[in-house]
Structure 1
């Protein structure tokens, strides 16, 4: 069965997520490799205190995704395609064998540290459910100012849009959205304005870092964040990993492309279930599930049968 692996982004984290993974030698080996590269035990990244920092959050999400995916691969699963939302793109690139684990760790750490230092307070993300991208874009344009910048960020579903920017600017958009029929409009637990032009300096830094490492053509289809297209070249991978921090993520389009290319089953890597839910709610005739320790063997049987 053609299977796509989906790697979640920041906001899906939870305490102890690195302690609740499937019991598999590949998980232990991968976490040991990550710990050696970081110089600390990777499992210390998922405490409630540690997860207050975007650096710990992003490194922990990367570790969870890659270690679980390697357990699948060691068990015989060869993904047909991979896609990662935001920081999940780095896990996807490693699983696609486009970049080495050690290089990805350095990139993820650099990305997160720059995000934390650039916008320590007063900025973040918010979600609007029930209004179209065009509708939200009009609201953003009506509110956006130099003092309180706000932008359209992720298009998670046709009627689920994430905005990014200053807290004050986003609150103004959320208030208008509720008045104009949004079912939900709320700030998210993400303290940085990801996927908007405010983070262009980080994209420029990542581009320079990617030029200094070895990036290979992916061994499986990699679906990009920025333009939601299948990427099959090293150049395309490097461009997406650098640019996605300063551009919106077209997640719904990405999963639609995965289905059009032939994915019959979409598996969300831990933690959380949001990507599975989005697929089930917005894609017709697709199977989607979340990988957990309890269903790992059952999913293996489904994929390999």
Structure 2
């Protein structure tokens, strides 16, 4: 069995996530304490108790999801003997999950990951005035078809492919009017389903350029190490280990397409046949099962999940 650990992105958060893990395992509590200290606030209480609308804010959801995933990883290391360098072939994460993957691989610390994600969330929120941007999900078309719809809809504005999630799920991002035009075009072309998403900003498109610049500045001040196993970068759909390549990929990711389908296919082509989603929710697990039906995939985020995970000692 060749394993990959994968880490979820925004949208997987929910009030109460990881609370049972923190109650059961001191290793999880230590991660939450480190993130709280890094941010100078009690983010873990917000994760455990809500309110939901505050947890959903980009500035909170991003570091919270990272904390949930790394708490799960630390528990698996302690309780099931998981060793990333020995037992895992590669790591990957969806959007903010790429930061989680890099922290899991030792490229930077949990403290640095928390601070970078807090800054990233704030910069992305500031990049576009409220109501000026939008995102929409197209269900059915492949990325090439969705890209053609986006290009036709742009009309001098911005409409781009933000996420190629696989399994016929592509997300568009851009100015509100252009994304609305894309829905009309998609419906005219017989796309099975096309819906606006309830998001606070148009992520992963060129409207995020100011946020990309903010991350370039922030990342320039953080020492990056070589990950202990390759991390598959969203914008490259391939493995990176060189710190400067990692830095460049993280900056490009802010305005670039999350090529998740291609990442999963590339990992499978490299021999991965078992995917473990660590943290909140099961979104990536479902996508993997549809992208590579022959692969094993499962989510770990609760004490019960930890108990069911194979002992690797």
Does the Cα contact within 8 Å between 1:10 and 1:190 map onto a contact in 2? Answer: no
- 1:129 lines up with 2:133 in the alignment: no
Runs (4+) of structure 1 exceeding 3 A deviation are: none
Aligned residue runs from structure 1 range 270-289, under 5 A: 270-289=279-298
For residue 120 of structure 1, report the CA deviation from its aligned partner. Answer: 4.4
Q: Residues of 2 paired with 1:159 and 1:28: CA distance?
A: 38
What is the aligned partner in structure 1 of residue 166 from structure 2? Answer: 157
- 1:174 lines up with 2:180 in the alignment: no
- 1:232 lines up with 2:264 in the alignment: no
Q: Residues of 2 paired with 1:85 and 1:117: CA distance?
A: 21
For residue 66 of structure 1, report the CA deviation from its aligned partner. Answer: 1.5
1:140-196 deviations in Å (ceiling 9; x for gaps): 1111144x5221111111521111112332122122212322222112232211111
- 1:295 lines up with 2:305 in the alignment: yes
For residue 218 of structure 1, report the CA deviation from its aligned partner. Answer: 0.6
For residue 227 of structure 1, report the CA deviation from its aligned partner. Answer: 1.0
Q: Residues of 2 paired with 1:39 and 1:194: CA distance?
A: 26
For residue 71 of structure 2, the aligned residue among 62, 67, 70 is 67
Q: Residues of 2 paired with 1:199 and 1:73: CA distance?
A: 36
- So what's the TM-score if we normalise by structure 1? 0.93
Q: Residues of 2 paired with 1:190 and 1:268: CA distance?
A: 23
User: Equivalent residue of 2:254, what SS?
Assistant: helix
For residue 20 of structure 1, report the CA deviation from its aligned partner. Answer: 4.2
Q: Residues of 2 paired with 1:170 and 1:21: CA distance?
A: 40
Q: Residues of 2 paired with 1:178 and 1:265: CA distance?
A: 36
Mark the CA change 1:120 to 1:269 in structure 2 (over 3 Å): closer, same or farther. Answer: farther
Q: Residues of 1 paired with 2:90 and 2:107: CA distance?
A: 13
Mark the CA change 1:162 to 1:273 in structure 2 (over 3 Å): closer, same or farther. Answer: same
1:255-280 deviations in Å (ceiling 9; x for gaps): 11111222221011232212111111
Q: Which runs of 5+ in 2 are unaligned?
A: none
Aligned residue runs from structure 1 range 1-305, under 5 A: 1-21=1-21, 23-46=24-47, 47=50, 48-75=52-79, 76-77=81-82, 78=84, 79-122=88-131, 123-146=133-156, 148-157=157-166, 159-293=168-302, 294-301=304-311, 304=312
Does the Cα contact within 8 Å between 1:70 and 1:95 map onto a contact in 2? Answer: no
- So what's the TM-score if we normalise by structure 2? 0.91
Q: Residues of 1 paired with 2:193 and 2:270: CA distance?
A: 32
User: Equivalent residue of 1:28, what SS?
Assistant: helix
Aligned-residue CA RMSD (Å):
1.8
For residue 136 of structure 1, report the CA deviation from its aligned partner. Answer: 1.4
1:227-268 deviations in Å (ceiling 9; x for gaps): 111112111221222221110011011011111222221011
Does the Cα contact within 8 Å between 2:212 and 2:254 map onto a contact in 1? Answer: yes
Does the Cα contact within 8 Å between 1:11 and 1:188 map onto a contact in 2? Answer: no
User: Equivalent residue of 1:5, what SS?
Assistant: strand
1:36-81 deviations in Å (ceiling 9; x for gaps): 1111112233311312421111121111112112222233212321
Q: Which runs of 5+ in 1 are unaligned?
A: none
